[in-house]
Amino acid sequence: MNNMSKEDWQRFDQVVMGPVKTVLSSDLEHLRRTDEIKRTELWNEIEHNQGVFEEEFANRLLEDVRLHSRSKFSFAKLLLAAAAHINNERSPITERFSEKELALVEKYEKFNVFDILSTDEIVDRIFRRGDIYQIVKEFYEGQYSDLDRLLDDPGIERDLRYAFKLYYEKRLDNIKKGVQAYVGKYGPIIMVNQIEQKVWDKIKKSEEERKTIAETLQRKIADVAAKFKSLEGIEKESELFKTKLRDVETEAVAGKPAVSLRSLESEKDRLSNSYLGFEKEIADILEATEKKQRELSASEAALEQAKQEYKQQMQEEKQRIVESELRQIGELKSRLAVEANSLQAEKGSLQLKRQELEDRLHQLTEALEGKPIRLVTKEEARLYEQNFIARFDAKMQAFPLKINSLLESKTYEVRSWNEDSHMKFLEGGALNTPANARSRYIVSERKYGFFGERIRKVIIEAISLNHLREFELYGFDGRRASLSEFLTLMSRFIDNAEIGKYLHVMGIASPTGWDERVLKEIGSTEFAHNYVSRYISICLVDSTTGDVVFNPADNRISKFVEFFRPQFDREKVEKIKGMIKARLFEKDYVVFDDIFKESKEEAALVYKAFHDIENEKGGRLRYIKDVGLVLERKQV
């Protein structure tokens, strides 16, 4: 059969198939622009060569080469006919093919851009929603992805069927690969078979909405971020202002206040307003974010409804498409939520900073107006801290301990603490100065009873809160722990507890006591809602007076309060108080050290006696350099 010589092959390949190759190496668009006479010549040559082929070569070639060659002839002619057809030329060659054949080749030639695009490029260009996106959409909507089915049409010549497969299969593969890669990366593209325009429109609308929302918020956040650069300056000024307040405080304690409250007030207002400005900016974005969230929820609801309908109608394709869009909406929503959370946190921290300025000035004003400042020396504070932590530790070691987690309505019985379940933390570290010590006990349970990772269930923690800086600088402190300090401390723990879903019980002790606003706040019903999550339970301890305050609505803390409550020997305190009062009767003042030496009692008890007398308005505490704490008789 195959008795072709080398010369024969050469003639076959170069001469007989020559014009066919010329046509096939070109594309429809190029052919269309080629002169009609030139195309007529090509057609006639192909026609002539096809005769030569059938006569001289066909029966000398192997079956598949023969088929292959015939299909090339047919296909080249179809391309020429399609070119004439597109140009609306009145030529007999268009009559050689059916409308179907012409339409099909015209359509597939339109997808020829995919021959030169890599998969990545296709993915990228679909993503950018450009030309390719439209073509791919058309490709699927027109159901061109299923070449086999299309070629099943008896109206398509056999040789052409072969050619279509030969020439377009690779192209289709390219498109499909690109689409698959796109789907892998970004989720389904929205045109699967038989997708209705209606569904498509819905999705398209939602996609656009998502895009705009994401862009708008991005821009807004960038705007605000730019504005926030000037926040640094405000922060510096605030620090300076606080230092100034501290100086005035010191002067006040030393008994020589000489400052214009009004100027401090106006400076505070100015800084406050700056913070407020930033808070307002954030509040605006937050509001915008919330609005967008609501809009998204509306689209979500509409799509959800559509999804349910398709589900009922068993229209899986549509259902899947809608689900994919729903997923994307969900993602954007959670992104917005994260954004909103961090904005909220930022806003919260600004509020705290502003609050702190208010608090500080408020206390200072009160002090200057004659409200007694409770003076606590660093040695005293250190003593309180040690007592507080030691007492707490002792109680926590009184086994067996019954620890109740109302979170799970479960009581854990603890018989010992291992190394991992007890931790101590210290800040600072100067001698005879408080260190904001914390002692933490962790009740945990193994995930699977006897094995598995340990899951935290309850954390009980004693925290000593002091103004370390003041103690270090001046050796004493008189400023009560403020609301902002309290909230700052809280914010450090709430997130962790919420994520870990364990109950975090805290007793926080301040030697200078607590600002009324903290006390008022923690006692209020709103407190539980506003600041404290269900994972956090708190009581506040005044180390000096021994008072413990907690939210009466918090029924969890009452079981833990005893772990934190300071204890004083009432009788001994009363005895010391008697000594002080007697001394005060003789002289105008009593020095702490004298009483401490004379009474031979614990310092803590002596301190307590001094503060009790001050509280009972029996005198006024002052701190005198080189002498220390002194109680002066009240000047009448």
* Residue placing its CB nearer to another protein in the complex, 38 or 211: 38
Shortest distance (Å) from residue 11 CB to another protein? 15
Sign of torsion, CA 558 559 560 561?
positive
Q: What interhelical angle do 119-127 and 158-186 show, nearest 10?
A: 60
* Residue placing its CB nearer to another protein in the complex, 157 or 380: 157
* Residue placing its CB nearer to another protein in the complex, 39 or 457: 39
* Residue placing its CB nearer to another protein in the complex, 43 or 162: 43
Q: Closest Cα partner for 373 from 72, 61, 622, 106?
A: 622
SS3 state at 459: strand
* Residue placing its CB nearer to another protein in the complex, 90 or 256: 90
Shortest distance (Å) from residue 56 CB to another protein? 11
Buried b (16+ CB within 10 A) or exposed e, 417-441: beeebeeeeeeeeeeebbbbbbbbb
* Residue placing its CB nearer to another protein in the complex, 91 or 433: 91
* Residue placing its CB nearer to another protein in the complex, 45 or 498: 45
Shortest distance (Å) from residue 161 CB to another protein? 21
Which residues on adjacent β-strands are paired with residue 461?
440, 506
Shortest distance (Å) from residue 84 CB to another protein? 9
* Residue placing its CB nearer to another protein in the complex, 55 or 419: 55
Shortest distance (Å) from residue 107 CB to another protein? 18
Q: Residue 189: exposed, middle, or buried by beta-carbon count in 10 A (0-12, 13-18, 19+)?
A: buried
To 10 degrees, the CA torsion angle through 478, 482, 487, 488? -50
Which strands form 620-624's sheet, in the order they lie side by side?
Answer: 589-591, 628-632, 620-624
Shortest distance (Å) from residue 109 CB to another protein? 20
Instruction: Look up residue 549 and give its two tokens.
Output: 């305050």
User: How far is it, in rounded angstroms, from Cα 238 to Cα 244?
Assistant: 10
User: How far is it, in rounded angstroms, from Cα 384 to Cα 581?
Assistant: 23
SS3 state at 468: helix
* Residue placing its CB nearer to another protein in the complex, 91 or 464: 91
SS3 state at 17: coil
Contacting residues toward another protein, per CB under 8 A: 36-38, 40-41, 43-45, 47-48, 51, 88, 90-93, 95, 99
CA distances from 636 to 368, 579, 582, 614, 620 (A): 18, 22, 18, 15, 12
* Residue placing its CB nearer to another protein in the complex, 40 or 533: 40
Shortest distance (Å) from residue 90 CB to another protein? 5
Q: Which pairs from 526-529 meet CB under 8 Å and 24+ separation?
A: 527/551, 528/553, 528/554
Shortest distance (Å) from residue 41 CB to another protein? 4
Shortest distance (Å) from residue 28 CB to another protein? 19
Shortest distance (Å) from residue 98 CB to another protein? 9
If residue 549 lies in a helix (H) or strand (E), which one and from where to where? strand 548-550
Tokens 């307002």 locate to 280
